[in-house]
Structure 1
Amino acid sequence: MIIHSTQKGEIQMTPSRYSRLINFLQEDLAISTASLDVALRHREQNTGSLTMVLWQYGLITLEQLEQIYDWLETV
């Protein structure tokens, strides 16, 4: 697992890990492509984490957010 930190303290994932995260969101948590598109657009505007943007906009539940962080710890 390779993670790069940026100057703002935000964690950047490798492209491979990011792709696996997107796959996990769609396949395991059944997050729609439309929801991901919305989150990605808003993430670009405020540079927040994709998962936090999904949660802030009500596109995932708190339980799903916890599942994502559990998944991130195991990959």
Structure 2
Amino acid sequence: MTTGKKNIELLDFLHNELELSDKDMAVALKHQEFDNGPLPMLLWQYGLVDLQQLEQILDWLYNES
């Protein structure tokens, strides 16, 4: 699986399962360009997901690897 495909699948998961808005994801992706941090941590850091949602994201990433 390519990194680009994995990122698209992660964005789909965030949108469909966690119901994050396109705007919230765009904010995190913009900050990722500057902070160069992992997207799940940036989502949590900026208050776009709570700790339970962060755990769901990390579980999803673990299961996809």
TM-score, normalized by length of structure 2? 0.91
1:49 corresponds to which residue?
Answer: 38
Q: CA deviation at 1:16?
A: 1.1
Query: Which of structures 1 and 2 has the bigger CA Rg?
Result: 1
- Cα distance in 2 for partners of 1:17, 1:43 equals 16
* Superposition RMSD in Å: 1.1
Instruction: Say which structure is richer in helix.
Output: 2
Gaps of 5+ in 1: 3-13
- Cα distance in 2 for partners of 1:18, 1:52 equals 14
1:10 corresponds to which residue?
Answer: none
- Cα distance in 1 for partners of 2:50, 2:43 equals 9
Identity %: 47
| Displacement over 6 Å in runs of 4+ | none
TM-score, normalized by length of structure 1? 0.80
Gaps of 5+ in 2: none
Find the partner of 1:70 among 56, 59, 62.
59
- Cα distance in 2 for partners of 1:56, 1:50 equals 10
Q: Which amino acid aligns with 1:68?
A: I
Instruction: Say which structure is richer in strand.
Output: 1
Instruction: Count matched residues.
Output: 64
Greater relative CO (CA pairs within 8 A, separation 6+): 2
Matches within 5 A, 1:29-48: 29-48=18-37
